[in-house]
Structures are given as C-alpha cells and as structure tokens.
Amino acid sequence: MRQNTEGLLTDYTYTQNRELSWLRFNRRVLEEAADETVPTLERLKFIAIFTSNLDEFFMVRVGSLLDLYALSPGSIDNKCGLGPREQLTAIYDTVPALIETKGQLYRQVSALLAEEGIQDLEYQDLTAQEKTFIGDYFQSVVLPILSPQIVGLHHPSPHLVSKALYVAALLRNKSGKKSLGFIPVPTSLPSLVLLPGTKGRFLRMETILRQWAPTLFGKYKVEETCIISATRNADLSFDNDKFEDNEEDFRLRMTKLLKQRANLSIVRLEVNQKPSRDMLELLEGLFPVENDQVYYDPTPLTMGYVYDLEKILSTELRQRLTYKPYTPRWPEDLDPNQSMIEQIRRKDRLLFFPYDSVDPFLRLLSEASERPDVASIKITIYRLASTSKIARTLCRAAENGKEVVVLMELRARFDEANNIAWSKMLEEAGCKVIYGIENFKCHSKLCLITLQDKSGTHYITQVGTGNYNEKTSALYTDLSVMTASPVIGADGAAFFRNMLTDNLEGDYQALLVAPNSLKNQICQRIDGQIAKGEEGYICIKANSVTERDVIDKLQQASQAGVHIEMIIRGICCLRPEVLLKTENIHITSIVGRYLEHARIYVFGRGEEAEYFIASADLMTRNLQRRVEIACPILDQEIQEQLRYILDTQLRDTAKASFLQASGAYLRKEPGKLAPLDSQAEFMKTSLHRPAPAPLPSEKPSLVQRLRCLFQGA
C-alpha cells in the first residue's frame, strides 16, 4: 500500500507498471526468433518486428513520460506508485538486456541464413570481383545523390530525421582540430544491394557508405566512422491553442502537426558500436541526450531491409525459409453466388480474420453500392490500406447516388498522412466526411447499411474488432459480425446521428459505447458475476489491460470466488494468482505468426452467458478517451464459435505463456500431449464447420510457478 497524490491508499500488490509490462511483451516477440520451429527468415522478421516495436515505444511511451516529467514531475502512476522519472529509470535499466538478447539471436539466425547462402556482408568480406561491382555501383548510383555535411562555424548542426540512418565521421583538419561529419543514408535507393551471381550475398546501403566515407570530406581526414540513428518524440498534442483562431480545417491542423512531429525532441540515440571518447563527446555535445538515452547496438539499427531481402530471394529459397503461404477461405456457411444482404437477413454471420477471407465483407459493400433499395452507407474508419478496395467501393457508392457518410479518424498514429489523402479522395467522390469529436479519437469499427422499401426501413450492420484494412486483415486475428438485427441497426443509426452532432451521451439499447457507458456496463456485468460467487465466470480476450477501476473490479471478483480466464496479448497491469487477491484469475498470452487483435468479452456460463465483441481494450484511453463499440452476440451458433476460439487458445501450448504473480511469463508445456498451436489449428479447422470438442485447458504446475518466481522479469 502507498499513498497516491490525493493522500489515499492504493494497493499495488496485484498491479504492475504498464511500460515494463509492454517490454516483457516485446521480449516475447523477440523470443519467437529463438523458436526452431519457426522458418529461418521468419525468425529474422521477428527480430525486425521487435526492433520496430521498440522504436515506436520510445517515440510514444518514452516521449510521453519525458513530457509528463517536464510538466508534472510529482505525478504518480496508479498501477505501480512510481513517478515519471522512476519509470524512465526502470525503462533505461531494462532495455540494454533486451538489446543484448537481440544481438545474440541476430547472430544465431544470421549464421543459419549463411548456411543457405544469405549473408549480410562487410566490404572486407567481398571477393575482388565483388569489390569492383560495389565500387562501380557506388560511383554511378550512390555518389551522385549523397549530401555529406560537416559540423562547424559555417555549417549548422544537421537535423536528424527520426529513425533515419546516418554515417557519422570523426574528422581532423590540417591543424589537428576535430569535428563531426554526417552522411545521410539515402532513402530513395534500395536498402540493400544483392551481389551478382549469388543466392543472397548482399551489402546494406549504410555499409557501402561507411566504406567510402573517407573519400567524401575533401581535405579532412576521417579518423573513425559509425552508424547512428536518432529516435524523436512522436507524441503529438492536439491542443487547439497551437493553431490560429481563423484555421477551421481539421485536416490542415493535422498536416501542420505532422510537420511538427519531425522537429520534436530526441528521446534516444542509437550507435552501432562504442565510439572513441572524442567522438562520443562530440556526439553528446551535439544532441541533447542523457547517457541513459544512448544505446550501442551492433545489429542493424533499422531492419526494414529484411522485407526487401525476402523479395529478391529465389522462389525456392523464399518458400523454404518463410511460412507456408496461407490463403484465407471463403466461409462454408456463405454462398458466394447469392446476395450477401439476403444471406445476412436470414442469419447473423461471423468472419474470423485472417482465417476467413475479407471478400464477403467487400462483396457486401459492393452489393450495397449498387442495389437500388440501399439508401445510405455509413462507416467509421481508423486505418485504411494504402490501396484500399473499401475506400474505392465507398467512392463508387457515392457516385451511384447513395448517401455515404465516413467518420474518418485523422489522428490514427502514424497513419495520419494516409488518412488525410483518403479523406480528400472520398470527399471528391461525393462522400460526406466528418472527423469525429474533439479530444476523443473514434476507434470504433461500425458499418451501417440502410435499406428502404415499401415495407419500411431495414438495416444491415457490421461491427468489428479490427480496422477496415485489407492488408492487416491478412496479418491480424480479428472478428467481424454482420447482422440484420433491427435493434442493433437502430443503435447504429443513433450512433451516427450522435457523432454528427458531437453527442457522446447517447442512449443505446444493445450496443455498449465508450466513453459514456462501456466501462460502466463492463463493471456492472462483473458485479453480476460477483453476485454468483464461485458459480460466476468471466472470460476476456483483449490486447491490453491498464484501466485501474476495471482491474480492481476483477480483483474483487476473484476474491468472491469467480473463475476468471483472460487471454491478453500485450500490456497487462493486472498480476494474476496473487495470494488472497487474484488467485482465481489466470492470464494467458499468445504471440505467434499472426498478431492477436480480436477482443471478446464473456460474462457467465451456459445459456445465461453474455457474449460481446469489441473495438476496445480494457485501457483507460479506450474506455474514457475514445469512441468505442462493444456489440452483443445474440446468435447461439456464433456464441459457440467464439467459445471454440477461446477454448482453443486457452489450450495453446506452442505459442502461449502464463502470466505469473511476479509479472514474469512462463511458457506453457504440452505435457504428455503434442504441442497445440491455436493459430495453426484455426488454419486447419474452420469455424463454419463442426469443430472437435475442446479439451480442458492445462494449468502450470506448482513447481513451474515457483520456478518462475525466481527467474525475474
């Protein structure tokens, strides 16, 4: 127990810091690179995913904590009792070990790829013929577009673009004075160069530049070089005070904020090796970072080249070193030759991405854009693919005279520019584009098709857990329900009316909508299970859990004897199985081929059970600062399909870990049975065919759990 800023006692015995929890999640991503059952190039991709995840963590979370420390250094986190400075210290203490593990795995995976003829080379590793080829390539292709810069009295300090690569050089002039030079690695050129006549021997572009750096600074002598990359704070504020009073176009505001992002403070400086003292002093003097913010990482500082590497490999190598391609299936309970609208009118339908194809939903939109009895299509959009079939279908619907309303969220982090471009195209096609409610991101996934005929007004409503993005629907596991329910349809119509009038306090019969009611409704349903005591049951599948009030309510349910099973992929500030506090809460996390992204909430058992799918995680931002929707699942067959998903993942022993009371994770052991990979199982077994009866989930043994207590985070 500790006092919070209001002098009240807060119990931290069953909660943990969100940032450290996230770092543990990212370590489990990195651990996939150590899994020998994963194809070798996919193992390298997991290292790349870990790297890009950590980049975003510094941009957003570390950037936010630094801002918080500057504005309110005395603020206390309500899950761990630490202030922003203490949290930053804990992060800085944790990250170096992750980088060391990354380096070890990178070397292991690189050695395996080398056995296949795939080698990331240094210049000295090349044959004489290869050196000639690279020299010619540098002179003819690279040199003409280089812009080396010297830092001095007549040369301003360079502006380092966030996460761009630079060759930094320690220079000495004829009088012996030392200075720095920088060569930006061109982004207009390929990230790697494949050596001719080889299966996969290559040089990264920064390696080539570093070799020729001594020739690029004229009269200066290059004494030392290294690769550097700066990570900038990307936590944008949407404070209206930043804009002039006469600027009313929200799209223009967003465009200005994106330009501001490029100039925010540096929160991390990465260097590919420990430089000399002279060079380090010059670097630290040039860029305002603390010692704790400088990281030495001998592996590639950016790893987008891994995806370029995959493209240049032969078909035979690519097939052998990557996952076997999986083609999403058309659901067996939908007839591709019949009207989607009429099939949904007969029965609610569920799609489970990426195992099911997104084509049925695309077919539904396309049909709605052409049918004469469709009056309008209304949709919320958070992220779109860069070549979006969904957006183009909406444009076609507007051109066909349908009323098309698009609630476009321009503040979707790192997708702002793409959404701005699509919003312009949608408007030009005749769609009505609105940008949501000030200070509340619209993260809901709702599409409402309104039909009108002689018998009246009818609705087809689609509610999902993931974005309207065909690309991510093949990479993320998500759920999409399509229903002709008049109650849910009426709620959908009310939702869009409320969004058009900035009304966050609307009443809904079936949908649970944040920020007005979703959190309260979840807590009420937990209370309903608390009243049942040991007969109560809760099962939650989500990405993250951070909201303190919900955590406390789940802890109360555990103390009342309610059996609680949770499948939480990432951040989890709730620590389960704490004696006398959360011993009835069991938390599983799955990291595998696909990013687990679906949200399912179940309260109760059997016929009394309530099922929901939702766009929202149990995070403060989702429940209090975003517009989110949870949709009840009333169709018994779809409830059984959701139960099958949950039961299968709770039995996973291949990619699942148990969260321990200590905050550490313990990999599940298959015991006497063969390891079960839930994602592989979903690829083999369709939801839309009868599934085998689930086996009971296995719990970790006492010995396993005690062992984990001493293994640290």
530 phi, psi to nearest 5 deg: -60, -40
Q: Is the peptide bond before 300 cis (omega within 30 degrees of 0)?
A: no
Question: Which residues fall within 8 angstroms of residue 630, CB to CB, at 6 or more apart?
Answer: 511, 512, 513, 518, 521, 522, 599, 601, 612, 613, 614, 615, 616
335 phi, psi to nearest 5 deg: -95, 115
Question: Which residues fall within 8 angstroms of residue 642, CB to CB, at 6 or more apart?
Answer: 350, 479, 600, 602, 611, 613, 633
Instruction: For the chain, give the number of residues.
Output: 713
DSSP string, 10-33: E--TTB--HHHHHHHHHHHHHHGG
Exposure string of 595-625, with b = 16+ CB inside 10 Å and e = fewer, is: bbbbbbbbbbeeeeeebbbbbbbbbbbbbee
Please state, in angstroms and as integers, the Cα–Cα distance from residue 673 to each residue in 36, 189, 692, 698, following that order.
Answer: 19, 50, 16, 11
Question: Which residues fall within 8 angstroms of residue 105, CB to CB, at 6 or more apart?
Answer: 30, 33, 34, 43, 47
Q: How far apart are CA 516 and CA 289, in angstroms?
A: 41
Q: How far apart are CA 405 and CA 434, in angstroms?
A: 8
User: Cα 114 to the chain's mean position, in Å?
Assistant: 31
Q: How far apart are CA 356 and CA 332, in angstroms?
A: 10
Closest CA to 560 of 530, 585, 582: 530
Angle at 429 between CA 426 and CA 430, to 5 degrees: 95
Pull the structure tokens for residue 14: 């069953």
Q: How far apart are CA 599 and CA 592, in angstroms?
A: 17
Q: How far apart are CA 379 and CA 394, in angstroms?
A: 9
Q: Is the peptide bond before 354 cis (omega within 30 degrees of 0)?
A: yes
Coil, helix or strand for 165?
coil
Q: How far apart are CA 25 and CA 665, in angstroms?
A: 9
How would you write 136-156 as a 3-class SS string? HHHHHHHHHHCCCEECECCEC
Strand-pair category, 595-596 with 476-483:
parallel
Instruction: Identify whether the C-beta of residue 485 lies closer than 8 Å to the C-beta of residue 512.
Output: no
Q: How far apart are CA 494 and CA 508, in angstroms?
A: 8
356 phi, psi to nearest 5 deg: -95, 150
Task: Write out the catalytic residue numbers.
Answer: 443
Instruction: Identify whether the C-beta of residue 432 lies closer than 8 Å to the C-beta of residue 404.
Output: yes
